[in-house]
């Protein structure tokens, strides 16, 4: 049995963040698939939020992808995926916060308006504004690339990658394109594709399109 046990499901972008960190750090782990809603009852006994990912390590349960990944960084510090300088670490945390508070919410709203085409322009515009902001205020100001902080990947790269991996599928479904001026963002997306963790966890665009349409249809049916 490995020291770390991961609970996840394959299409969860939050769990993918943690899978990427485990893979890149070379931490051996056992993985248990959790299917909702059928596994909810037993899973709630392990993780009180009932969400994936969560890990078990040293008889402790740690949940929330951002917290898990920083815990993994603390416990398995090599290779380092956080800078040592406090200001640089703060930048990492600011941009993680931006992904969770702004970008992922704007992209989730696209899922909600899939069955309401008259709302598409407004919601697409919100996503495009986020992409422009990430490119202009984040990626460009933090480094010249190829990764968020320069030559080497950091927790920020693993934080954003699962969400940006889905952008080409959204482009196809909703008929928009990443703005041309976001070329730092598009070259970062290309750089991520060379990483082992990306190759082992990412889905092709066609698979995302199919999964997203299923998900959006399920959300619409649930809302009635």
Q: Which residues are catalytic?
A: 12
Task: Kindly compute the dihedral angle of the four CA atoms of residues 62, 65, 70, 74, in this order, to the nearest 10 degrees.
Answer: 40
Q: Interface with ligand GSH includes 160 (CB under 6 A)?
A: no
Q: Which of 67, 88, 69, 102 is nearest to 150 (CA)?
A: 88
* Residue 182 vs 209, nearer CB to ligand GSH: 209
Near ligand GSH by CB under 6 A, which window of 49-57, 88-96, 129-137, 210-218?
49-57
* Residue in 22, 52, 169, 192 binding ligand GSH, rule: CB under 6 A: 52
Q: Does 39 bind ligand GSH (CB under 6 A)?
A: no
- Cα dist from 152 to 15, 82, 171, 186, 195, whole Å: 22, 10, 28, 17, 11
Choose between 12 and 134: whose C-beta lies nearer to ligand GSH: 12
Note if the bond before 84 is cis, omega within 30 degrees. Answer: no
14 is a site residue for ligand GSH (CB under 6 A) = yes
> Per CB under 6 A, does 219 bind ligand GSH?
no
Q: CB of 108: closest distance to ligand GSH in angstroms?
A: 10
| Nearest Cα residue to 11 out of 223, 216, 215 | 215
Give the contacts of 189 (CB within 8 A, at least 6 positions apart).
Answer: 164, 165, 167
Residue 81 interacting with ligand GSH (CB under 6 A): no
Q: Which of residues 82-121 bind ligand GSH (CB under 6 A)?
A: none
Question: Quick one: tokens of 36?
Answer: 């909702």
> Binding residues for ligand GSH, per CB under 6 A?
12, 14, 36, 50-53, 64-66
């Amino acid at each position: 049995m490995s020291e770390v046990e991961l609970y996840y499901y394959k299409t969860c972008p939050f769990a993918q963040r943690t899978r990427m960190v485990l893979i890149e750090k070379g931490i051996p782990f056992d993985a248990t698939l959790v299917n909702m809603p059928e596994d909810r009852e037993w899973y709630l006994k392990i993780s009180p939020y009932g969400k994936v990912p969560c890990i078990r390590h040293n008889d402790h349960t740690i949940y929330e992808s951002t917290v898990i990944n920083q815990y993994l960084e603390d416990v398995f510090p090599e290779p380092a995926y956080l800078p040592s300088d406090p200001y640089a670490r703060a930048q990492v945390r600011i941009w993680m916060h931006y992904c969770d508070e702004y970008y992922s919410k704007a992209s989730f709203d696209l899922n909600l308006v899939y069955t309401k085409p008259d709302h598409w322009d407004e919601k697409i515009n919100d996503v495009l504004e986020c992409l422009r902001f990430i490119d202009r205020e984040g990626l460009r100001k933090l480094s010249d690339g190829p990764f968020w902080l320069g030559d080497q990947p950091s927790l920020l790269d693993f934080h954003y990658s699962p969400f940006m991996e889905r952008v080409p599928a959204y482009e196809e479904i909703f008929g928009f394109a990443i703005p041309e001026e976001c070329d730092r963002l598009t070259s970062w997306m290309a750089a991520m594709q060379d990483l082992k963790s990306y190759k082992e966890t990412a889905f092709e665009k066609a698979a995302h399109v199919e999964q997203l349409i299923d998900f959006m249809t399920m959300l619409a049916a649930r809302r009635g």
